[in-house]
Every structure is written in structure tokens, then in C-alpha cells.
Amino acid sequence: MRIIVAGGDGFCGWPTALYLSKQGHDVSIIDNLVRRDIDDELHSNSVTPIAPLEERVEKWKEITGKEIRTYIGDLNHYDFLTQVFKQERPEAFVHFAEQRSAPYSMIDRAHAVYTQSNNVLGNLNVLYAIKELAPDCHLIKLGTMGEYGQPNIDIEEGYIEIEHKGRKDTLPYPKQPGSFYHLTKVHDTHNIMFACKIWGIRATDLNQGIVYGLNTDETRMDPVLTNRLDYDGVFGTALNRFLIQAAIGHDITVYGSGSQTRAFLNIKDTVRCIEIAANNPAEQGEFRVFNQFTESFSVKELAEMTKKVAEQKGLTATISNIENPRVEKENHYYNAVNTKLIDLGLEPHLLTDEVLDEILTDALQYKERIIQDNVIPKVKWK
Ligand code: NAD
Ligand code: USQ
């Protein structure tokens, strides 16, 4: 299958591009490299040294003989995007290319505006490019579990059957996102659903949980293929961040009580979920939603698991409940459904001590690169 991976230089996109290429798909990457620029803006870095994109794909070709073509440009430059569509004639378009940090979107007005215009308008351009140039192309769009928020009922996969005043309907599941970033995913969802309805586009919205880990079998093949690993207070996510904090002897920063619960998955499952979606395309006109996660944990549980594994390695790990910089529910019900990807063949890599140990070992290898000052969160919601 001819597949474009937009955002293919990023944390999820790079290992996905490699995995799809290994499976025999004809892969090309679109990326404007803005994530590398944001590292400069924040005076931050990936824990792992990451090679330039051109070097990465050259190494992949050298090792495997497989070519991944790259297009450096912005989804918001429509002329650029249409040129890529004409050249590649994609059968699937995997869309990772958005600003993905909730804290970054909450820095100030300018960062909120950037996040919303980059994400919502970029996605709208992709919808138009599919409509005008590749109407059969399957859009595989990365959404987020955070679109649903933390309702006091079970979270379904995209839709819920509601009975109201004696009548029944299946409606989009209510959305209660927790940041201007998470809101962009809700806006995207509505735009995609509408485009499917009016133009007959086929789309799968993957409401992904928080991804942990960094390496897959492919990224481990050579140091040049190593994936990025974020740790700072803006882009670092729970669990990966906790393990890195443990690696450098920093307190594990649980925000508030730590009772807040989220859905998680291993990066090794991310790449497989994309393959499953690609191999089982949505029908023409169908807007399909899969909840892409394998397990849920409270933040407190993750901190405790990290502490245990770090101590087994002889590290000192202290859990510190710091004032929550976000406005979010801490004590809440959380039970989300995730059967659709499993029914299509996903075999989850679950979170074990061995998995935690593996990520911690990777973090320890590069711990000298970590800039201590970036670890504490500085962005507040209010
Ligand atoms: P990332 O920031 O590492 O990668 C995103 C990539 O997209 C970057 O390489 C960036 O340069 C590129 N990009 C951004 N805007 C672009 C544009 N307008 N044009 C072209 N390229 C652009 O993020 P990630 O962690 O790999 O996340 C990928 C996707 O998955 C995002 O949409 C994110 O919202 C979603 N997601 C991520 C997680 C997670 O835990 N990392 C969880 C759920 C959902
Ligand atoms: N948290 C801590 N301590 C930390 C960091 C985070 O307690 O040091 C808490 C946060 O308060 C929050 C939870 O952990 O309650 C998750 O925070 P996070 O930064 O790991 O994740 P989030 O901001 O939700 O965003 C990440 C990705 C985003 C993706 C989302 C999936 O950056 O792209 O969409 O996870 S989800 O959470 O399912 O919406």
C-alpha cells in the first residue's frame, strides 16, 4: 500500500514509518520539522540524540534496502501538500503531524492560537487534499483519549446509544477536553466526521492514550534510527517522564494527589495499531473511531511502579506530590472501552517491570544530556 506518514519525524511517526516500511508498504514522510524547532524555543532536547531525518532514512535504506521518501513541508501550505498527493497518490494517509503538547498550548495566547491553527487547519487541508486528489485514500488520524475527558460513565469508542424522552439514537460520545491542545482533537473529529458525511471520505480516528517507551525492533537496529524521548515539563509525558526523573535522581513529580487516571499504551503497540487500521480500512463515507490504548493507570500507580523498578536498580527514587499546575479532576471514575483494535488482532505489550526497566536503562544511557532546569513544570493552566 502507498502510505504517507505525516509527522514521520516525530516520536510516534518515526517508528511507525519504519514499521510500515518493514511490513512491505511503500512509505513516504511529510514533516516540517517544527518539533525540532520547538526544542530550540524551549531550550530543551530529546534525551536520546536524534539524527537528522535525511540521515535516518539513508541509514534505513542502507540496512534494509527499503526507501522512505521524505517531503519537508507544512500541511498548512496547501500547494506543497497537493504536490505530495499528486506525486505519491496515497492509499492511506496517517496523520500524526500536529502540535501535541497540552502544556505548550496553555503557555499563552500565541501558543494556543498556534496550536489550534496548526492542528485544525492542517487537518482541514488534509481533508481537502483527499477530496480533490485521492478520494479513495483512507485517512488514519491520531486523536486522543483526552477528547472524552473523565465522565462519570463508561467511555465508549466514539459513539454512544442514548435514550431521551422515549426516543433512541446513536450519537457522537460527549467531549470534555482538558486543554486548548485537546480541544483541537475534538475540532478535528467534527471536521472529519462532517467530511465523511458530505464527501464520502473514509476515515479512522484513533483516540490514542498516553504513549510510553521509545524504541521498537526497528529503531533499535542502529543508533542513527533511535527515536526521540521527551522529558521536559512541556513535552514529557507521565511514565516516560517519571522514569527519566528516576534516572537522574530527581523527585518523581506527581501533580496533586495523583489519583487522576489515564489510558496508556506502549509505542510498540502504536505502530501495530496503525498497521491494523491501514489493513482494515473504513468504508467509503464511514467515520470510524477506535480507542487506541491497552491499560489504564492512575498517575500515583505509575509513580509507585517507577519507584519500585528504580530501587531494584540501586537508584534512589522519591515521589513528590507537587501542586497541580493543571485544572483537572483528580478523583474521578474511569472506565474506557478498547475492544475494536483487539478484535482486529492487536496483542498488547503490557506494562511489566521488565518494560519499565528497559525504558529506564535507555534513559540512564543518555542521562548526561538531560537539562535539570527543564524538568519542573512551569506552565500553569490559570
Ligand atoms: P511529535 O511532536 O513528536 O511529532 C509530531 C510531528 O509532526 C513532528 O515531527 C512535527 O515536526 C510534525 N508537525 C507538526 N505540525 C506539522 C505541520 N503543520 N506540518 C508538517 N509537520 C508537522 O508528537 P508525537 O508524540 O509523535 O504525536 C504524534 C500524534 O499522536 C499527535 O497528533 C498527537 O496528538 C498524537 N498523540 C500522541 C500521544 C503521545 O503520548 N505522544 C498520545 C496520544 C495522541
Ligand atoms: N502528570 C503528572 N506529573 C507529571 C506529568 C503529568 O502528574 O510530571 C499528570 C497530568 O497532570 C495528567 C496526566 O499525568 O493528569 C497525563 O499528563 P501527560 O502530560 O502525560 O499527558 P497529556 O497532557 O494528557 O498529553 C499526552 C500527550 C498528548 C496526548 C495525550 C493522550 O502529550 O499528545 O494526546 O497524552 S490523553 O492523555 O489520553 O489525552
Q: Which atom of ligand 1 is nearest to the CA of 292?
A: 43
Closest ligand 2 atom to residue 293 Cα is: 38
Residue whose C-alpha is closest to residue 38's, from 100, 116, 80, 108:
100
Find out whether 270 and 15 touch, Cβ atoms under 8 Å. Answer: yes
For residue 238, how far is its CA from the centre of ligand 2 (angstroms)?
Answer: 6
**Is 181 part of the annotated catalytic residue set?**
yes
Report the C-alpha gap between 145 and 265 in whole angstroms: 11
Residue 318 resides in a domain: yes
- Work out which ligand 1 atom sits closest to the CA atom of 210: 40
SS3 of 315, please? coil
Distance CA(240)–CA(264), nearest Å, equals 11
For the residues of 172-194, what is the DSSP string, one character each? Answer: EPP---SSHHHHHHHHHHHHHHH
Q: Which atom of ligand 1 is found nearest the CA of 97?
A: 7
The CATH number given to whatever domain includes residue 202 is 3.40.50.720
- DSSP letters for 54-103: HHHHHHHHHHH----EEEE--TT-HHHHHHHHHHH--SEEEE--S---HH
Does 380 fall in a domain?
Answer: no
**What is the domain range of residue 301?**
2-375
Residue-level pLDDT at 353: 98
If you take atom 10 of ligand 2, which residue's CA is the nearest one?
255
Distances (CA, A) of 334 to 178, 284, 351: 15, 33, 18
Q: Is 66 designated active site? A: no
In whole angstroms, what is the distance from residue 136 CA to residue 199 CA?
A: 11
**Which residue minimizes the CA distance to atom 6 of ligand 2?**
238
The pLDDT mean for the chain works out to 98
* d(CA 164, ligand 2 centre) in Å: 34
Ligand 1 atom, smallest distance to 37 CA = 11
In whole angstroms, what is the distance from residue 179 CA to residue 105 CA? 7
Ligand 2 centroid from CA 66, angstroms: 35
Which among 22, 141, 148, 185 is annotated as catalytic? 185
Split into its structural domains, the chain has a count of 1
Residue 311: inside a domain: yes
Q: What is residue 159's predicted lDDT score, i.e. its pLDDT?
A: 98
Pocket of ligand 2 (CB under 6 A): 100-102, 144-146, 182, 209-210, 237-238, 241, 253-255, 260, 262-263, 299, 326, 328
381 belongs to a structural domain = no
CA 237 to chain centre: 10
Ligand nearest to the CA of 240: 2
Strands 210-212 and 295-298 come out as unpaired
Ligand 1 binding site (Cβ under 6 Å of any ligand atom): 7, 9-13, 30-35, 74-76, 96-100, 118, 122, 142, 144, 208, 210-211, 237
Could you give the 3-state DSSP secondary structure of residue 38? helix
For the CA of 9, the nearest atom of ligand 1: 9
Q: What's the CA gap between 314 and 316, in Å, rounded?
A: 7
Query: Is 157 contained in some domain?
Result: yes
Q: How far is CA 74 from the centre of its chain?
A: 18
Which is catalytic among the residues 71, 104, 173, 181? 181
In the chain, pLDDT over 70 holds for what percent of residues?
100
Q: Taking the complete model, does pTM exceed 0.90, yes or no?
A: yes
Q: How far is CA 104 from the centre of its chain?
A: 15
Q: What is the pLDDT of residue 101?
A: 99
Question: For the chain, what's the residue count?
Answer: 382
Please check whether residue 382 lies inside any domain of the structure.
no
| Residues paired with 142 in a beta bridge | 206
- By most ligand atoms within 8 Å of CB, the mutation choice from 96, 140, 210, 273 for ligand 1 is 96
- The residues pairing with 211 across neighbouring beta strands, listed in sequence order, are 265
Distance of alpha carbon 335 from alpha carbon 347, whole angstroms: 20
Q: Among residues 62, 36, 89, which one has the least CA distance to residue 230? A: 36
Task: Determine which one of 48, 70, 115, 144 is catalytic.
Answer: 144
Q: How many helices (H) and strands (E) does the chain have?
A: 13, 14
Q: Which residues of the chain have pLDDT under 50?
A: none
Cα(313) to centroid of ligand 1, in Å? 32
Report the alpha-carbon distance of residue 212 to residue 243 in Å, rounded.
Answer: 10
Ligand 2 pocket test, pick from 183, 237, 255 with the greatest ligand atom count within 8 Å of Cβ, gives 237
Cβ atoms of 183 and 98 closer than 8 Å: no
> What CA–CA distance (Å, rounded) separates 308 from 179?
31
